[in-house]
Structure 1
Amino acid sequence: MSTTTPATRGTTPGSTPASDDVRAAVRTHYAALVEPEGSTRGCCGGSAPVSLELGYSEADLAAVPEGADLGLGCGNPQAIAALRPGETVLDLGCGAGFDVFLAARAVGPTGHVIGVDMTPEMLTRARANARAGEVANVEFRLGEIEHLPVADASVDVVISNCVVNLSPEQQQVVDEAYRVLRPGGRLAISDVVTTAELPADVRADLDLVAACVTGASTVDAVTAMLEQAGFTDVRVVPVDATRELPTTWDPAGDVRDYVVSASIEGTRPVGA
């Protein structure tokens, strides 16, 4: 989701970053994005034009509070979520609230949207955006997506935009998404998948963790994670329209041969 940040360099070439190091690198990077002097570029370029390329409309951009769209996504989970009025929605890694505010509009005043993020600076921005936009049917909670501060079987839809790949414990993230969904609830996320084996130096680079490259998994691996958690009707579909976007994720190289965005869906079975 970003340009590289020299401060996070230092991983031993060929080694795998430790979980704590991954979280620290991601948290530091995304905290910097909301600082006045911070970068406005995310893993997919980070601007309104990029959001339009990802499938959002001009109306979507105009409908959210100013400052909510930081351009940090790699797709448009709203396009596959099929949100309905009155539903409760959870956004994993909500950032400044862009997808939360769009979901709030879709579910209406009888619905509710929860955003969870581990970066306090992002939540401060998101809450300020909610106040500025007078959006009443949203809330933002501090927490890690591997340990969601959300009750069992309490939401109808889980969405996320290019965040699961940032976790060093992705199976735990998927398990948590399943836990908080009501039976019959659905998962609808955009994320990054690999199309070829990542080189060892890429896997070891903490900069490329925050750039949504290092943590990407194969389509088969993502499918297996969802099925292991208990999801049915699993679909992991690469999005061809995003194949050129990785050129902005790693200015020092070209990762188009290795990663692409994908739409990822699954359902918690009724009665489960």
Structure 2
Amino acid sequence: MNAHEEAKAKAARAYNAAAELFDHPANSFWNRFGTATVERLNLNPGENVLDVCSGTGASALPAAQRVGPGGRVVAADLAERLLAVAQAKAQAQGLDNIEFRVGDLLQLGYADASFDAAVCVFGIFFVPDMAAAVRELWRQLRPGGRLAITTWGPNLFEPANGHFWDAVRAERPDLYKDFNPWDRISTPDGLRAMLAEGGVAQADIVAESASHPLSNPDDWWTLAMGSGYRGTLDLLDPAQLGRVKQANLSRLSSAGVDRIEANVVYAVATKP
């Protein structure tokens, strides 16, 4: 299995497992930043939008509302359980202008110039060759179309993130990560360089300092179980999992942590 196929399998496994908690109130940041990304695109009624790494629709649903019944949104993700939640939400909101596709963003196969906008929120870094992913999204945009890439900024979910990995290392040193896939693009300069490598020479890039509230330490554990951390947690045996959870919650509680960093970097580029 090559690096891309291995990354796909890991992401699908982790996010399918996390689906039951993905939309928990403790994880409201998905909708917050998905909506903010769509607002930066200034979508018009009737436009066609490709939304990849869609999750449960945090950007696809507001995009569908913006483009209206005369427009169309294709929402694609590797995790079919996340898309099932998104589809149920779309039905509840009366949105019938979204097509949901389980698929790899590098292999969706739409023709050149098929879309007015392409969106990827917190997902481009799951592709080992991020520049290739950008090239593929860019190819599918018509001239004048807009590409929106949103990624995490520095210090994601600190201080809870550091406590999490310390606890994991104590139980399973082999699972410890000192590098995240988004680290390379967590600054405007890093994101700009990656976009340029993917053929996008000009982009409006904005770094935003933000935080995410925790009403209690248990919110952190819900976030971890309902996000990409789930891929690591599912590799622990029940006793290890219990100790990692206890270590996390006790450290957050003793430090009185009631919010964590959730810095983001937004990029919007218009195709010549």
Per the shorter chain, which TM-score range? Answer: 0.5 to 0.7
Q: Does residue 104 of structure 2 align to residue 144 of structure 1?
A: yes
The answer for the alignment partner of 2:265 in structure 1 is 262
With structure 1 as the length reference, what TM-score do the two structures score? Answer: 0.66
- Supply the AA of the counterpart residue of 1:179: R
Which of 27, 30, 40 aligns to 2:12? It is 27
The answer for the alignment partner of 1:235 in structure 2 is 204
The answer for the alignment partner of 2:131 in structure 1 is 171
- Supply the AA of the counterpart residue of 1:86: G
Take 2:38 and 2:63, find their aligned partners in 1: how far apart are those partners? Answer: 7
Kindly name which structure, 1 or 2, has the bigger radius of gyration based on alpha carbons. 2
Do the aligned partners of 1:155 and 1:185 also contact (CA within 8 Å) in 2? yes
After TM superposition, the structure 1 = structure 2 runs for residues 201-220 of structure 1, keeping only pairs within 5 Å, are 213-218=180-185, 219=187, 220=189
After TM superposition, the structure 1 = structure 2 runs for residues 41-60 of structure 1, keeping only pairs within 5 Å, are 41=22, 47-48=24-25, 51=28, 56=32
Take 1:107 and 1:182, find their aligned partners in 2: how far apart are those partners? Answer: 16
The answer for the alignment partner of 2:81 in structure 1 is 121
Give unpaired runs (5+ residues) of structure 2. 157-161, 167-172, 215-219, 230-244, 253-258
With structure 2 as the length reference, what TM-score do the two structures score? Answer: 0.66
Do the aligned partners of 1:242 and 1:261 also contact (CA within 8 Å) in 2? no
The answer for the alignment partner of 1:3 in structure 2 is none
Which of 62, 82, 86 aligns to 1:102? It is 62
The answer for the alignment partner of 1:77 in structure 2 is 37
The answer for the alignment partner of 1:60 in structure 2 is none
Cα RMSD of the aligned pairs, angstroms, is 3.8
Structure 1 residue 172, shift from structure 2 partner: 1.2
CA deviations 1:45-97 (Å, max 9, x no partner) are x644653x6784xxxxxxxxxxxxxxxx6773123111111111111111222
Percent identity between the two aligned chains? 29
SS in 2 for 1:76: helix
Do the aligned partners of 2:209 and 2:262 also contact (CA within 8 Å) in 1? no
The answer for the alignment partner of 2:240 in structure 1 is none
Take 2:98 and 2:175, find their aligned partners in 1: how far apart are those partners? Answer: 32
Structure 1 residue 234, shift from structure 2 partner: 1.1
The answer for the alignment partner of 1:153 in structure 2 is 113
SS in 2 for 1:217: helix
Give unpaired runs (5+ residues) of structure 1. 1-16, 57-72
Take 2:175 and 2:76, find their aligned partners in 1: how far apart are those partners? Answer: 23
Structure 1 residue 160, shift from structure 2 partner: 2.0
Number of aligned residues: 220
